[in-house]
Amino acid sequence: MRRSWIQALAVAGAAMLGLTACASGSVSGGAAAPTSTTGGTAAASGPTEKVTVGLWPSSAVAAFELGKQEGIFAKHGIDLEIVLGAGSAAHLPAVSSGAMDFMVASPITPLTATTRGLDLKIVSGYARNNPDVADDSTVVVAKDPAIQRPADLAGKRVSINALGSIGEIGIKEAVEKDGGDPNTIEFVQLGLNEVAAQLDGNQIDAGMTGTPFTQAIVAGGGRVVSDFIKEADLGKTELVVVGGGKTLNDRPEVTKNFVAALQEALPYADANQDKIRAMLPDMLGTKPEIAEKMVFMQWSADLDEANIQRFADLMVKFKIVDSEPEVAKTIWKP
């Protein structure tokens, strides 16, 4: 797969900047400068409209890229451009302003936005935690024998990809449920692809990471100590697709077509994971021998509103927000 990379949009606003510290909900990627991917798109069967979607460099890109290559988005009238950044926090200003159409994030991003007066809504599910594997999105250690279970993370220096994210509420809940004190954890912000080096350098005791970085750490002798998404019961709606009010209001038909494309592309990706594995060495630089053994999160456009409420409840419990997010108002209704 031949790819070209161009510099992406950069839009900022004071209201949005207050959100960026807690907005990134990505659980399967790491830091990178914003770029966009072009090329490899199947020819459209009719007229299409350009749609930009923000993601981060990880296996989370794969379902969109595969749907693009197979012509699924074009079939629904969508000329898809994938914009890569460090996480949903990097994309939030552009989506909020309408400079970018959609982004992938955890439910925390739109839930937090609604408590701060920003018009951001969930338009579709994107991925669920895979209950059959423990390395979808996890906390890992190098070889520390003192950390064996979630409760052992109490009092330790633990990296997460963004403060106030799914990593923070999920790890705190997992530690508390296991009998530890979540308030004693020292959280530091670190890209998921940077965890291995920081563990090796003893800069952190444990780190949140995800596919394919977890597999590489385990292959090097590390261990998974917490499958926190599953332990905190946040996996039924781990990642969602989010749109800004400007796009949703100004382009309602395009939004409907985009969601329809997701309803076809995501099940296709889930049923064709070998095609995803074959893409990763070129897309992420994953070693082929690691890529061929990878098991992914479950791609699905379905939304579980009760599970999104679980996010809202934990956000209040761990003081990520000052007021209870209104889940029903955060979900887009066509």
pLDDT in tens, 126-184: 999 887 776 567 999 998 789 999 999 999 999 998 889 999 999 999 999 999 999 99
Fold classification of 137-234 is D-Maltodextrin-Binding Protein; domain 2 (3.40.190)
Residue 264 token pair = 């076809």
Give which of 83, 120, 81, 95 is closest to 11, Cα–Cα: 95
Region 121-129: mean pLDDT is 95
pLDDT above 90: percentage of residues in the chain: 68
Hey, do 4-130+236-330 and 137-234 end up sharing a CATH topology, with the first three levels equal?
A: yes
Identify the band that residue 188 occupies on the pLDDT scale cut at 50, 70 and 90: very high
- All residues at 6 or more sequence positions from 38 whose CB lies less than 8 Å from its CB, including other chains: 3, 4, 6, 81
Residue 267 confidence (pLDDT): 98
| 86 has a pLDDT exceeding 90 | no
Residue 135 confidence (pLDDT): 54
**This prediction's pTM:** 0.82
**Where do the structural domains in the chain lie, given as residue ranges?**
4-130+236-330, 137-234
Residue 30 confidence (pLDDT): 39
* Tens-place pLDDT, residues 268-301: 999 999 999 999 999 888 889 888 888 888 999 9
Q: Torsions phi, psi of 7, nearest 5?
A: -65, 140
Into which CATH architecture does domain 4-130+236-330 fall? 3-Layer(aba) Sandwich (3.40)
**Would you list the DSSP string of 278-330?**
HHHHHHH---HHHHTT--PPEE-----HHHHHHHHHHHHHTTSSSS---HHHH
Q: Torsions phi, psi of 210, nearest 5?
A: -160, 180
Distance of alpha carbon 296 from alpha carbon 60, whole angstroms: 9
Please give the single-letter amino acid code of residue 327: V
Residue at token pair 């070129």: 282
| 16 has a pLDDT exceeding 80 | no
More confident residue, 43 or 236: 236
Strands, E assignment, the chain: 4-7, 35-38, 49-55, 78-84, 102-105, 120-128, 137-141, 157-160, 186-189, 206-210, 223-226, 239-244, 298-299
* Tens-place pLDDT, residues 100-113: 999 999 999 999 99
Helix (H, G, I), strand (E, B) or coil at 163: coil
Distance of alpha carbon 1 from alpha carbon 200, whole angstroms: 32
Distance of alpha carbon 278 from alpha carbon 291, whole angstroms: 7
Distance of alpha carbon 188 from alpha carbon 157, whole angstroms: 7
| 309 has a pLDDT exceeding 90 | yes
Residue 45 confidence (pLDDT): 56
Distance of alpha carbon 206 from alpha carbon 218, whole angstroms: 13
More confident residue, 290 or 8: 290
